[in-house]
């Protein structure tokens, strides 16, 4: 595949957009994709980093600020450094120059909306948008929002085309590979705080880094080590260097390729409510969060509601006294084991692999089946309550967590009456589930794919493998399924595996059945269909 990213970093927009695009780009490159970037050379750009990481780059020159001064839509239009028409024309000229029609165009930019995307659509295969704001419409085939906010599943319903695939939530957080590797060995924090990690990203214009550092130092705790990360182009870096002079317990870093080792070694974090949220949560780090921008407030509010962070609201309203008071309370009480453990449940570090799997060609995804375990409870509930799954379910009501927990425990314990299989990719990513439940002398089959793997022709592969595993375990069996008559994709999957439509149980429900033998490809014996 050929994939082109359109994203920017700047002293105003920060570095997060480019960093997460680089994470996805590296994962795609490992799968054989040819990846390039188009970025504008704003103050604070990361063009050198992109080239250093081995990606092709087409750099756009900074525009005339006077030409974009009056542009007010979308809200961050000025961050583009040109009008959307100028930027789109420059991007099209770049594609024409290199003679390339990319399979995917990935857009990660708050200043770009449906107008720019519609203009580019004829020149590219498919468009993927990475967004956090949900404040403007998009013309895209896939949308990724790695955040966690109230009413997350519905926030793009009126902002993307009906057939757009939505990858929503921190399970898709674009973290570097080392986070998943470190998470597997991380120990939950507990008890006294011995090391604090401070980082506010690449656009800390209000110097919350310095403010937080002063708050920590005011507590006069030389026994606590402090790691501070600041951008090399920060206008406050010299002042911060002065703060840490003669402080042997304060360690200042800049230009790091990853924050993972510092997050892993810390007991408590202090930082912004942007992408670093997911890095801290992935490694189970309890944190005090201060919002750098309005779009971070809904995310931080939801994380605090779930008991995952301590949120001190907007950075414009938070002074060092407020930070010091909150910090003093935590240091006095110590860290509870539950706080860190809760953080570890939110992000597993495999988001980039999930997004890659959603982008690559269907034939490139190989699935295997394994029995479900208690650790699959949360992902099964998430899949069950996904809007498309609920629409296709015979009982469409949302399932609450308590009911699901009790149901799931009973099913795992009842091997004679129920088998649940999880489909995984070769990388170990959960792609869907198949469940078989005994009904008298037959077995009723249910299945569902993760949203990230839908629309890729994987339903047949997943169901076929699970049924083969099931028959290997119990022997020949009569198996049937019930499908809504308007659920054409599911009906096609069953038909491709030789299931026959037996009768309409209700006006809108089709029952399909088959007598399955040890070789799924063997013809169904006449008269042995499921009745």
pLDDT averaged per 10 residues in sequence order, the chain, 531 residues: 95 90 96 95 93 96 68 85 94 94 97 97 97 95 92 88 88 92 92 97 87 96 96 88 93 92 97 93 97 90 95 88 96 93 92 88 78 89 82 82 92 94 85 94 92 82 94 92 89 92 79 80 40 29
Bridge partners (DSSP) of residue 510 are 483, 504
Among 111, 114, 42, smallest CA distance to 76 is for 111
Angle formed at CA 109 by CA 107 and CA 113, multiple of 5 degrees = 80
Rounded to whole angstroms, the Cα distance separating 182 from 121 reads: 39
Rounded to whole angstroms, the Cα distance separating 252 from 250 reads: 7
For the chain, the residue count is 531
DSSP labels, 336-379 = -HHHHHHHHTT--S-HHHHHHHHHS-GGG--EEEEE--GGGHHH
Are 2-168 and 178-344 the same fold in CATH?
yes
Rounded to whole angstroms, the Cα distance separating 229 from 263 reads: 11
- What is the CATH superfamily name and number for domain 178-344? Glycogen Phosphorylase B; (3.40.50.2000)
Contacts of 123 (CB under 8 A, 6+ apart): 92, 95, 101
Q: Order of strands across the sheet with 477-484?
A: 367-371, 418-425, 430-439, 442-449, 477-484, 509-516, 500-506
Angle formed at CA 274 by CA 270 and CA 279, multiple of 5 degrees = 70
Give the SS3 label for residue 142.
Answer: strand
Six-digit token string for 347: 């992000």
Q: Are 289 and 310 in contact (CB under 8 A)?
A: yes
Count of CB atoms within 10 A of residue 126's CB? Answer: 16
- 204-207 contacts: CB < 8 A, separation 24 or more? 204/230, 204/231, 204/234, 204/236, 204/272, 204/292, 205/11, 205/12, 205/235, 206/292, 206/315, 206/316, 207/236, 207/239, 207/240
Among 472, 475, 407, 490, smallest CA distance to 441 is for 475
Among 469, 400, 463, 398, smallest CA distance to 434 is for 463
In which residue are the tokens 């002042």 written? 239
Count of CB atoms within 10 A of residue 12's CB? Answer: 14
In which residue are the tokens 């099913």 written? 411
In which residue are the tokens 């570095």 written? 15
- Dihedral pair phi/psi, residue 432, rounded to 5°: 170, 180
Q: Which CATH number fits domain 2-168: 3.40.50.11190, 3.40.30.10, 3.90.1150.10, 3.55.40.10?
A: 3.40.50.11190
CATH of domain 361-516: 3.40.630.30
Tell me, what's the pLDDT at 469? 94
Rounded to whole angstroms, the Cα distance separating 498 from 463 reads: 12
> How, if at all, do strands 500-506 and 509-516 pair?
antiparallel
In which residue are the tokens 């002074």 written? 319
Count of CB atoms within 10 A of residue 308's CB? Answer: 22
In which residue are the tokens 């088959």 written? 514
In which residue are the tokens 């317990």 written? 249
**Helix and strand totals (H; E) in the chain:** 19, 20
Domain coordinates of the chain in residue numbers? 2-168, 178-344, 361-516
Tell me, what's the pLDDT at 202? 76
Among 238, 18, 221, smallest CA distance to 107 is for 18
User: What letter does residue 35 receive in the DSSP assignment?
Assistant: E
Give the SS3 label for residue 409.
Answer: helix
Q: Are 199 and 15 in contact (CB under 8 A)?
A: no
> How, if at all, do strands 287-291 and 310-314 pair?
parallel
- pTM for this one? 0.77
Which H or E element spans position 154? none
């Amino acid at each position: 595949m050929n994939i082109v990213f359109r994203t920017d970093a700047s002293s105003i927009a920060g570095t997060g957009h480019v960093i997460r695009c680089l994470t996805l780009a590296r994962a795609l490159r490992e799968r054989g994709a040819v990846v390039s970037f188009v970025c504008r050379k704003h103050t604070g750009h990361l063009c050198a980093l992109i080239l250093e990481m081995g990606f092709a780059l087409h750099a756009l020159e900074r525009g005339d600020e006077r030409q974009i001064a009056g542009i007010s839509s979308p809200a961050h239009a000025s961050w583009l450094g040109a009008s959307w028409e100028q930027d789109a024309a420059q991007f099209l000229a770049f594609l024409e120059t290199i003679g390339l029609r990319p399979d995917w165009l990935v857009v990660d930019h708050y200043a770009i909306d449906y107008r720019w995307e519609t203009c580019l659509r004829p020149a590219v295969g498919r468009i993927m948008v990475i967004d956090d704001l949900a404040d403007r419409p998009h013309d895209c085939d896939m949308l990724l929002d790695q955040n966690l906010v109230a009413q997350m599943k519905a926030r793009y319903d009126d902002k993307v085309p009906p057939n757009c695939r939505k990858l929503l939530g921190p399970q898709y957080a674009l973290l570097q590979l080392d986070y998943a590797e470190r998470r597997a060995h991380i120990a939950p924090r507990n008890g006294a705080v011995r090391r604090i990690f401070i980082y506010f990203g690449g656009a800390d214009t209000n110097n919350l880094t310095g403010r937080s550092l002063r708050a920590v130092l005011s507590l006069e705790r030389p026994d606590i080590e402090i790691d501070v990360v600041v951008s090399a182009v920060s206008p406050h870096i010299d002042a911060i260097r002065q703060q840490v002079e003669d402080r042997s317990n304060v360690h200042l870093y800049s230009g790091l390729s990853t924050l993972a080792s510092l997050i892993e070694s810390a007991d408590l974090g202090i930082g912004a409510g942007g992408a670093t949220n997911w890095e801290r949560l992935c490694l189970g780090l309890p944190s005090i969060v201060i919002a750098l921008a309005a779009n971070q407030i809904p995310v931080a509010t939801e994380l605090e509601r779930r008991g995952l962070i301590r949120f001190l609201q907007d950075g414009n309203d938070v002074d060092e006294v407020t930070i010091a008071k909150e910090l003093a309370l935590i240091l006095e009480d110590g860290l509870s084991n539950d706080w860190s453990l809760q953080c570890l449940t939110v992000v597993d570090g495999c988001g980039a692999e999930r997004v890659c799997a959603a982008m690559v060609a269907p034939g490139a995804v190989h699935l295997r089946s394994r029995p479900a375990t208690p650790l699959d409870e949360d992902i099964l509930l998430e899949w069950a309550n996904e809007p498309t799954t609920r629409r296709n379910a015979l009982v469409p009501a949302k399932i609450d967590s308590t009911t699901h927990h009790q149901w799931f425990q009973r099913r795992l314990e009842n091997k004679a009456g129920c088998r649940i299989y999880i489909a995984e990719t070769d990388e170990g990513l959960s792609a869907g589930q198949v469940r078989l439940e005994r009904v008298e002398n037959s077995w009723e089959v249910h299945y569902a794919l993760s949203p990230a793997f839908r629309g890729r022709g994987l339903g047949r592969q997943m169901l076929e493998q699970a049924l083969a595993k099931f028959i290997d375990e119990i022997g020949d069996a009569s198996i049937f399924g019930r499908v809504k008559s308007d659920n054409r994709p599911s009906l096609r999957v069953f038909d491709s595996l030789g299931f026959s439509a037996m009768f309409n149980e209700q006006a809108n429900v089709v029952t399909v059945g088959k007598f399955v033998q040890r070789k799924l490809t063997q013809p169904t014996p006449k008269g042995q269909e499921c009745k």
